[in-house]
Structure 1
Amino acid sequence: MTKPVKGIWLPIVDIAIWTIMIVTVLYVMAQPGAAYLKAATAAGVAVCALIYLVIAGGVPAPAAWMKIRKRSGSDVKSKEIAKLVQLDDDGEPVKEWYIRGETSLLIGKSNARQEAEIDLSNSEYASLVSAEHAVLNRVGSEWFVEDIDSTSGTGLRPARKSAVERLQSGELYKLGPGDLLYIANTRLLVK
């Protein structure tokens, strides 16, 4: 969760921005003629105000604008993710991939044309894993997973939850320590 900025300057800047927008509209509207200029100014200020309110959290953004599935702060620990651990059916570790310092990793099966950084070619359920199944991307210290139109799908079970959510292809989902990724039937523990 984003930590709010504290201090006196933020409200002062907000007031200054709103004042400039209102004065601009009043000035343009007071001018004789130039209907197109008045309409363009009003539309521009309305768009700026809407964007400002969405960014500031005053107006909920439409779902189409928010491609990242957010989770509450209690769901995601602040601990940095360092590795993925492949688990067998009994929950025992089979293989590990250290991902600290990486920015983007392909999950799938390596072949002559491409190499998957998280290669599941030798997993028990390899026949269900697509060559390009999912991708992990790091932004700052946060990791996101995205299903890339895989045949068997990708699932995510957040830490301390029992339900597995099937990921929609092309949408980003935030990962946290303790989450379980399901690549087809192959389980990857996020640590």
Structure 2
Amino acid sequence: MNRRFVFDVSGIIAAILCVVIVGFLGRGLKGGYIFYMFSFLISGSLIYFAVKDFSFKKEKIQDTFLSELVLLSEEDTVVKTWNILGKNSLVIGKKNSEEDIDIDLSDTYFSGTVSDVHAILNYVDGSWYIEDMQSKNGTQIKGFLEDKLYNIKDGQSKLTRKDYIFIGLNKLQIR
């Protein structure tokens, strides 16, 4: 079980116990109002942080939830779509008899700029990464709101929602 989850649940239980104890015993103690205020302050803060953590995790999951890869035309209209939901690794390239290709670009206008095994998309720890496989025309990525292309040479580069991927001269977008 996640330690953070156990901490949040035990904090909520402690807050509820604090309210119950104050309700039964607080009236008989001198300075009961201070005890009330202290108990409500602790219980309120524990509940606030538990709810805040939950909503933050929910936003993070939704932000990284990428389900498709699309091939775009020069006018940025969708030409072809591939479902990547539930996949761990996808090979991008041109279909041939030797390799299994998941994202086949052999029928695209710029297929001459695509190597047989051009790049690999990997899903690791909730994020997608792309790695160039020593292709002849390279792999580049560009952030959705950025103007600069980044060449991928060694290692993997992390992708985020709406990033553009250039496989040779083919423009893809992860959504």
Q: TM-score range by the shorter chain?
A: 0.5 to 0.7
RMSD: 1.9
Match for residue 132 of structure 2 among 142, 147, 152? 147
1:178 maps to amino acid: K
Secondary structure of 2:76's aligned partner: coil
1:94-120: CA deviations, max 9, x gaps?
A: 000000100000000011112210000
Q: How many residues align?
A: 118
Residue number in structure 2 paired with 1:184? 168
Partners of 2:94 and 2:100 in 1: CA distance: 7
Secondary structure of 1:151's aligned partner: coil
Pairing 1:96–2:77 present:
no
Residue number in structure 2 paired with 1:105? 90
1:119-160: CA deviations, max 9, x gaps?
A: 000011101100000000001321000001000000000121
Match for residue 175 of structure 1 among 155, 159, 162? 159
Q: Is the 8 Å Cα contact of residues 87 and 95 (structure 1) preserved in structure 2?
A: yes
Partners of 2:91 and 2:64 in 1: CA distance: 23
Report the Cα offset of residue 162 of structure 1.
1.0
Partners of 2:125 and 2:64 in 1: CA distance: 13
Q: Is the 8 Å Cα contact of residues 92 and 118 (structure 2) preserved in structure 1?
A: yes
Q: Is the 8 Å Cα contact of residues 64 and 126 (structure 2) preserved in structure 1?
A: no
Gaps of 5+ in 2: 5-61
Runs of 4+ residues over 3 Å off in structure 1 = none
Q: Is the 8 Å Cα contact of residues 109 and 115 (structure 1) preserved in structure 2?
A: no
Residue number in structure 2 paired with 1:159? 144
2:117 maps to amino acid: E
Secondary structure of 2:63's aligned partner: coil
Greater gyration radius: 2
Partners of 1:103 and 1:179 in 2: CA distance: 18
Partners of 1:150 and 1:179 in 2: CA distance: 20
Secondary structure of 1:78's aligned partner: helix
Residue number in structure 2 paired with 1:81? 66
1:163-183: CA deviations, max 9, x gaps?
A: 111111x31100011100000
Percent identity between matched residues is 31
Gaps of 5+ in 1: 6-76
